[in-house]
C-alpha cells in the first residue's frame, strides 16, 4: 500500500485540483495561470477591503491594490514552495502576505504624509504590467474589475462584518487562532468556534469552492512574513 506524505493531496481532496493548477501555473502554463488568478481574486479583494480602512479607502481602490499584488506575484511564482505537498494554501499565504505588507506600507506612508499612487487596475498598458504576457494582464484586469459579480465575493459580503473579519484573518491570511484572539480581544476558543461556524456557512453556500481547502482546525502556522 502506498502511503502519501502527510498533508499531500488525495484523490477527491478539494485542494487537489487547485494544487495541480498552481503547479501548472508555476511551470508557465497560460490557461492555469488565468484559472489561478480568477480563483484567488475574490479572496484578495475581500482582504484588500478589510485592510484599506478609513482614510486609506478614500485614497486607494482595493481593486488597484489587488491588481498590483498579482503583477508583483506572477513573475515570482516559480519560487513558491509547497506546504505538505500542497500549493493551494501556500499560494494564498504568499499573496495575502504581499497584500498585507503593501497595505501596511501605504498606511505608513499616509501617516508620514507621503502617499503613493497605485496603478489603476484597468491600466493594461501601464508600466506595472510590463513583463506579463498581454493575455495574463488582461485576465488580471477582468478578474479584478468583474469580481462584483463573483458568487464567492457576494457570499463573503453577505456575512456579518465580524465573521468576514475572521475569514480574512484566519482563512485568507492564515494567522494563528491564538494571535487572532489577541487581535480581537476574545478568548481563543470563542474565536475558533466562530471561525468554524462562518467557514461551514460558506462551504454550505458554495460547495466545492476554495473554502473547502481552508483549514478549520484551531491552530496552524502563521502566514509567511507575519
Q: What is the 3-state secondary structure (H, E, C) of 210-225?
A: HHHHCCCCCCCCCCCC
Q: Cα separation of 73 and 21, whole Å?
A: 16
Side-chain-side CA neighbours of 209 within 13 Å: the count stands at: 21
Where is pLDDT greater, at 216 or 97?
A: 97
| pLDDT tens column, 12-23 | 455 577 888 888
Confidence class for position 126, pLDDT limits 50, 70, 90: very low
- Site of grid cell 506546504: 83
Q: How many percent of the chain have pLDDT more than 90?
A: 41
- Of the pLDDT bands very low, low, confident and very high (cuts 50, 70, 90), residue 7 is very low
198 phi/psi in degrees, rounded to 5: -65, -40
What pLDDT is stored for residue 5 in this prediction?
37
pLDDT in tens, 73-122: 988 888 888 887 788 899 999 999 999 999 999 988 887 777 666 654 44
- Looking at per-residue pLDDT, the higher value among 131 and 63 belongs to 63
Closest CA to 42 of 130, 135, 124, 156: 156
| Residue in 137, 55, 105 with CA at minimum distance from that of residue 225 | 105
Helix (H, G, I), strand (E, B) or coil at 86: strand
- The pLDDT confidence band at residue 6, using thresholds 50, 70 and 90, is very low
Question: Looking at residue 157, what is its pLDDT?
Answer: 92
What's the rounded Cα separation, in Å, for the pair 134 and 140?
10
C-alpha cell of 113? Answer: 504624509
**What is the per-residue pLDDT across 145-189, written as a single tens digit (0 to 9) for each?**
666 568 899 999 999 999 999 999 999 999 999 999 999 999 999
pLDDT band with cut points at 50, 70 and 90 for residue 134: low
pLDDT at position 46, please?
A: 95
Pull the grid cell for residue 179. 494571535
Please give the pLDDT value at position 74.
87
Backbone φ and ψ of 86, nearest 5°: -110, 145
Angle, CA of 106, 171 and 183, to the nearest 5° = 60
More confident residue, 3 or 109: 109
Amino acid at each position: 500500500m502506498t502511503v502519501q506524505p502527510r498533508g499531500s493531496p488525495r484523490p477527491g481532496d478539494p485542494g487537489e485540483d487547485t494544487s495541480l493548477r498552481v503547479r501548472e501555473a508555476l511551470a508557465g502554463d497560460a490557461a492555469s495561470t488565468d484559472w489561478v488568478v480568477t480563483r484567488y481574486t475574490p479572496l484578495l479583494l475581500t482582504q484588500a477591503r478589510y485592510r484599506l480602512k478609513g482614510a486609506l479607502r478614500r485614497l486607494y481602490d482595493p481593486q488597484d491594490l489587488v491588481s498590483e499584488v498579482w503583477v508583483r506575484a506572477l513573475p515570482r511564482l516559480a519560487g513558491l514552495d509547497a506546504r505538505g505537498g500542497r500549493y493551494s494554501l501556500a499560494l494564498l499565504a504568499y499573496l495575502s502576505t504581499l497584500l498585507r505588507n503593501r497595505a501596511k506600507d501605504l498606511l505608513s506612508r499616509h501617516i508620514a504624509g507621503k502617499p503613493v499612487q497605485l496603478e489603476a487596475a484597468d491600466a493594461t498598458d501601464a508600466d506595472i504590467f510590463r513583463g506579463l504576457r498581454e493575455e495574463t494582464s488582461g485576465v488580471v484586469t477582468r478578474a479584478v474589475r468583474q469580481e462584483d459579480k463573483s458568487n464567492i465575493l457576494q457570499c463573503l459580503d453577505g456575512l456579518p462584518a465580524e465573521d468576514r473579519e475572521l475569514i480574512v484573518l484566519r482563512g485568507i491570511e492564515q494567522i494563528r487562532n491564538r494571535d487572532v484572539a489577541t487581535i480581537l480581544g476574545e478568548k481563543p476558543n470563542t474565536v475558533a468556534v466562530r471561525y468554524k461556524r462562518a467557514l461551514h456557512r460558506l462551504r454550505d453556500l458554495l460547495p466545492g469552492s476554495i473554502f473547502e481547502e481552508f483549514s478549520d482546525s484551531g491552530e496552524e502556522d502563521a502566514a509567511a512574513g507575519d
